[in-house]
Structure 1
Amino acid sequence: MLRATYILSSLAVLSAVRGQGVGTYQTETHPKLSWQTCTRSGCTTNSAGTVALDANWRWTHVTGNYTNCYTGNTWNTTICKDNAECAKNCVLEGANYQSTYGITTSGNALTLKFVTKGENTNIGSRVYLMASDSRYQMFNLMNKEFTFDVDVSQLPCGLNGALYFVQMDADGGMAKSSNNKAGAKYGTGYCDSQCPRDIKYIDGEANAVGWTASPNDTNAGLGNYGTCCSEMDIWEANSISTAYTPHPCKTQNSGGQQRCTGQQCNVPDRYGGLCDPDGCDFNSFRMGEKNFYGPGKTVNSNKKITVVTQFLTNNNSTSGTLTEIRRIYVQDGKVIPNSKSNFPNLFPAQDSITDKFCDDAKKGFGDATSFQKNGGLQQMGAGLAKGHVLVLSIWDDHTANMLWLDSNYPTDGDASKPGIARGTCSTSSGAPKDVEANSPNAQVIFSNIKFGDIGTTYSA
């Protein structure tokens, strides 16, 4: 799957930024979100769970006054002539989660609204599950199972309600970056397998020097630096299509967060950097089963869906080697096994992600083998064993209009060729200006998060 780099829009005036100090104009209070840990003896509720908004959405301004450090898609070059000094001069503010960002929680449910209009207009959001007020919740998925409920019925073509894991630092990078005084409490330290360069602050420094404003996004741009780490996409979806995808990296600490520049960030060679940008995806529609997922289909996206993902190891232990990532759905009291790939002339039918599946699909579709070159499932598992942070987001795509998820992609490919068709959306759909104008009330609801031993987090 050719997956687009996250280029995320935020406030038109209170501009999206990853600052490093802490402001005093808005108290930061994390919305509560309970979740459960499960064993053979049953499930225990963690009622202390909360979520924190990513720093890239927050207002950043000069310490002690209201002067913006970043406005629209450009830096204040008077303040930010130097990356390190910029980080020291600028602070992050707390967030008004509901009125500004459209983020609400109720018990074990999190609702992320797409467009929120108040004094300013906010587009999308990204939040992290917290273990405490200042640390992210870390998950070791090896030989474990992760389950959640999701409602994507209000997500049309061009949108993505995503739940995934990335190998961020638990403290948001505070320990290794002396300039970072905000930390996980204020959503700092993001990274993923796209090595995104739209992040405003990385490793305690601004990304201002060399920043180029986006030609099609009034709130975003690209800096000289990116931030890489391994990524496990549990759920990338709208009401039309869904995919789950591991992305291994050969960064420090078996896939841990690492600042990149130039070719390390997969620029100009998409496949010559520190991470696998494509991943090994399982999208049922792309795998030839076009009636499995979607409105009114076997897994009916008009209704709430329970999504189960199992991480199997060679010796059934957390210290083993990752050998398989298996998907199960539950809906209307019925357990629904994942669909199987359906290209009998290309490769055998398979219903989970294994190294053999990835080899067969990459060869059959003629895709680049960056997944294998970056270590495949073994490297993915090595990263997962170090602990990953849970990310939940809603976003539109200024790079490829989300066509890689829900339409024919690349758009000049023959839709009858295996691997090109990924969903029923038109190749003219998904343009952010259209989605934002026509579907401002879109939303995704994640709920009932459970993590535990294999076979303990769901039932029919």
Structure 2
Amino acid sequence: MLRVAAVVACAMAQQPGVHVEEHHPNMPLWTCDSSGCTKQTKTVVLDANWRWLHNGEYTNCYKDGDFDTTLCPDPVACAKNCHLEGNTAEQYTSTYGIEEIENGVQLSFVTKTKYGSNFGSRIYMLDESNKYQIFKLKNREFAMTADMFYMPCGLNGAVYFVEMDADGGEARAAASGGSNQAGAKYGTGYCDAQCPHDMKFMEGKANVIGWNTSHDPPIGKWGSCCAEMDIWEANSKATAYTPHPCSITGPYVCEGIDCGDNSKDQRYDGVCDKDGCDFNSWRLGDRSFYGRGTGFTVNSRSCRAVRPPQSSLR
């Protein structure tokens, strides 16, 4: 599962909303072999963590960093009571800063609206409207173009693969007694090797147990773990790619020591390798490989985005 991100997160639900029909922005994908390349028009979907979470009408299930205790008294009830709303094409751009451009998509880090500011986003490529694109890269090559011209030091424009379920976790939720009817169409089922605790739902159950609003971002008892391959973690000054293997296969809901929590000094005791084995040219001794300017082999200023301050992916 290919994930593209510009960091930060908000709220997640498990039932499809009824107010707005979900729109998926287009993004091309070329598949090549010895006979040539074929262009396909795929789509991308916004991660459920950024979406409006409500009771099927207009009451928020999640607001100001906390769950509504009436709608979310326990993990299963919350997933059954709460709906994940869709977004129009206009909302993708004006609210989340996700815009179709020629042969790619463009992501804004800060998007200001009359209701406040949105920071970052995370999108996944879809194979069908309700299935994620699954990439099988053994004995194959993956290539892309990323525009980092306006990406300053301190930000991370990331492209990476994570071992999510193609259906967004619908079948896994049903098997575990949870409820997820929104699925990949609404960007559900995220996991990575850091076993994030800020995911609001896992396997169709709300992460309400021990939900800690004093933490930034708020976190719950459970973490969402899976293997991760970072293809591109970069800004205009630095870049790295990093494999993060795990001892488990596929998405795994962790708790306790399995999560490898830093706060409990258990980082190296969990099911995933959080540090990974990264390749960063500067740290490994090549100080002229990547950076801003003509003195670098890869000049991050050689390509310009459509308008600042944004980054784009092709």
Assess same fold via TM > 0.5: yes
* 2:55 matches 1:62: yes
Matches within 5 A, 1:285-434: 285-296=282-293, 297-304=296-303
Cα distance, 1:283–1:180 mapped onto 2, change above 3 Å? same
Name structure 1 gaps, 5 residues minimum. Answer: 1-5, 11-15, 306-440, 448-460
Deviations 1:108-134 (A, max 9, x none): 211000000112311000000000100
Please say if 1:274 is aligned against 2:271: yes
- Asked if structure 1 preserves the Cα contact closer than 8 Å seen for 2:6 and 2:157, the reply is no
Answer whether contact 1:73 1:214 (CA < 8 A) is retained: no
* In structure 2, C-alpha distance between the alignment counterparts of 1:303 and 1:25, rounded to whole Å: 43
List 4+ stretches of structure 1 deviating above 6 A. Answer: none
Q: Which has the higher contact order (CA 8 A, sep 6+)?
A: 1
Q: Distance in 2 between matches of 1:212 and 1:238?
A: 31
Q: Aligned to 1:163, what secondary structure does the other structure show?
A: strand
Match of 2:166 in 1: 170
What is the CA–CA distance in structure 2 between the aligned matches of 1:9 and 1:245, rounded to whole Å?
20
Shift of 1:46: 0.7
Q: How has the CA–CA distance of structure 1 residues 228 and 54 changed in structure 2, closer, same or farther, with 3 Å as cutoff?
A: same
**Counterpart position of 1:109:** 104
Note the 1:161-310 alignment, pairs <5 A: 161-178=157-174, 179-215=179-215, 217=216, 220-251=217-248, 255-267=249-261, 268=264, 269-296=266-293, 297-304=296-303
Q: Distance in 2 between matches of 1:172 and 1:130?
A: 11
Distance 2:303 2:245 in 1: 30
**How far, CA to CA, are the matches of 2:186 and 2:164 in structure 1?**
14
1:83 match = 75
Identify the range of structure 1 (231-240 vs 255-264) with the bigger mean alpha-carbon deviation. Answer: 255-264
Aligned residue in 2 for 1:314: none
Residue from 88, 95, 100 that aligns with 1:100: 95
- Give CA deviations for 1:46-73 in whole Å, capped at 9, x if unaligned: 12x000000000010112x211111122
RMSD of equivalent CA atoms: 1.6
From 5, 14, 19, the equivalent of 1:20 is 14
Paired residues of 2:6 and 2:107 also in contact (CA < 8 A): no
Q: Aligned partners of 2:255, 2:191: CA distance in 1, in Å? A: 14
Code of the aligned partner of 2:70: T
What SS does the corresponding residue of 2:76 show, helix, strand or coil?
helix
Q: Which runs of 5+ in 2 are unaligned?
A: none
Q: Does 1:446 align with 2:313?
A: yes
Aligned length: 294
Normalising to structure 2: TM-score of the pair? Answer: 0.90
- CA displacement 1:388-420 (0-9 Å, x = unmatched): xxxxxxxxxxxxxxxxxxxxxxxxxxxxxxxxx
**Is contact 2:12-2:51 (8 Å) kept?**
yes
Q: 2:39 aligns with which of 45, 56, 80?
A: 45
1:278 aligned partner, one-letter code:
D
Give how far 1:17 is off: 1.4
Cα displacement (A) at 1:160:
0.7
Deviations 1:4-53 (A, max 9, x none): xx99545xxxxx21200011112101001111000011110012x00000
In structure 2, C-alpha distance between the alignment counterparts of 1:134 and 1:39, rounded to whole Å: 27
